[in-house]
Amino acid sequence: MAERKWHVIIADINAAQGPEIVRQLEEKGAEALFVPIDLGSPDGPKEMIRRSIERFGRLDVLVNCAAHAPVEAFMEMTAEAWERTLHVNIRGVALATAVAAEQMKKQKGGRIINITSPASRMALPNYAAYAASKAAVDSVTRAAAVELARFNIQVNSVAPGMMDTPLQLRTEEVFARLEECSDLESFRAQRTARIPAGRRTDCSEVAQAVVWLAADAPSYIVAERLNISGGLDRD
Ligand SMILES: NC(=O)c1ccc[n+]([C@@H]2O[C@H](COP(=O)([O-])OP(=O)(O)OC[C@H]3O[C@@H](n4cnc5c(N)ncnc54)[C@H](O)[C@@H]3O)[C@@H](O)[C@H]2O)c1
């Protein structure tokens, strides 16, 4: 998005990374704003949208990307992990979508892209809260898409395959531990071998899919779940 010289707002709970993210986006040609916010709080999503509109006066695209991803042994799962996951990954997405839609309706259009995961359709006992939350993201995507299509707001989702982000690295470390595998590298290699394309993806490849849906895709694409997972997830 920054390469297209769009105005970009990043909202994240990790405030420490704000200045560096803004620097990187500006280097690519964007006007950028970092909003430090907890999207799992009741008012966080609304505040994110309010501050975005306050800064740039309009809102054309919302990408719901933030996620909480605890890994817990199935029989040791905790209420805290469930609560946090549901608040950030589902309630946050739903509320942000609703508030963004108000503004987009006034503007007579907009695009909303929710980041889901192949996990939403897999049986992952040690990742139950995360996987269930992503199944709920798919549900919220469908509901929002149907409600908002009449306002020329297209809601779709992107399901990325394995990207080696901090979230993925943390997740695999705990997966390996819970599966009693001491060799993390071979554990990761086995997981990569399950991907039909034979490799993992990365953020820039997934960003291309998001930008396509946000800007280039025909407006008749509504309620679509775009897999970008090298064949790991398929319809
Ligand atoms: N990495 C993968 O392999 C993979 C695969 C499928 C889907 N995804 C999805 O991609 C998206 C991005 O994940 P990622 O892999 O880049 O992980 P990441 O941990 O690098 O990024 C997630 C971001 O969400 C932020 N966040 C967490 N809780 C928050 C909160 N309460 N309020 C605001 N921000 C919060 C984190 O600070 C972090 O910057 C997520 O929706 C994730 O579920 C990732």
Which of 34, 127, 130, 175 is catalytic? The answer is 130
Does the residue 150 lie in any domain? Answer: yes
Q: Which of 31, 156, 47 is nearest to 100 (CA)?
A: 47
Q: Is the CB of 164 under 6 A from ligand 1?
A: no
Which of 20, 49, 165 for mutating ligand 1's site (highest number of atoms within 8 Å of CB)? 165
Does the residue 177 lie in any domain? Answer: no
- φ/ψ of 167, rounded to 5, equals -60, -45
Which of 167, 201, 205, 227 for mutating ligand 1's site (highest number of atoms within 8 Å of CB)? 167
Does the residue 233 lie in any domain? Answer: no
To the query of whether residue 127 is one of the catalytic residues in this protein, the response is no
Angstrom distance (rounded) from CA 192 to CA 212: 26
Q: How many residues does the chain have?
A: 235
Domain that holds residue 76: 37-163+200-228
Does the residue 121 lie in any domain? Answer: yes
Does the residue 86 lie in any domain? Answer: yes
Domain count, the chain: 1
Name residues of the chain where pLDDT drops below 70: none
Query: DSSP letter string over 36-83?
Result: E--TTSSSHHHHHHHHHHHHHS---EEEE---------GGG--HHHHH
Task: Describe the strand order of the beta sheet including 225-228 as a list of residue ranges.
Answer: 61-64, 110-115, 153-160, 225-228
CATH number of the CATH domain containing 210? 3.40.50.720
Does the residue 141 lie in any domain? Answer: yes
Of all protein residues, the one whose alpha carbon is nearest to atom 24 of ligand 1 is 66
pLDDT tens-digit series, residues 59-117: 999 999 999 999 999 999 999 999 999 999 999 999 999 999 999 999 999 999 999 99
Does the residue 90 lie in any domain? Answer: yes
Q: Supply the pTM of this predicted model.
A: 0.98
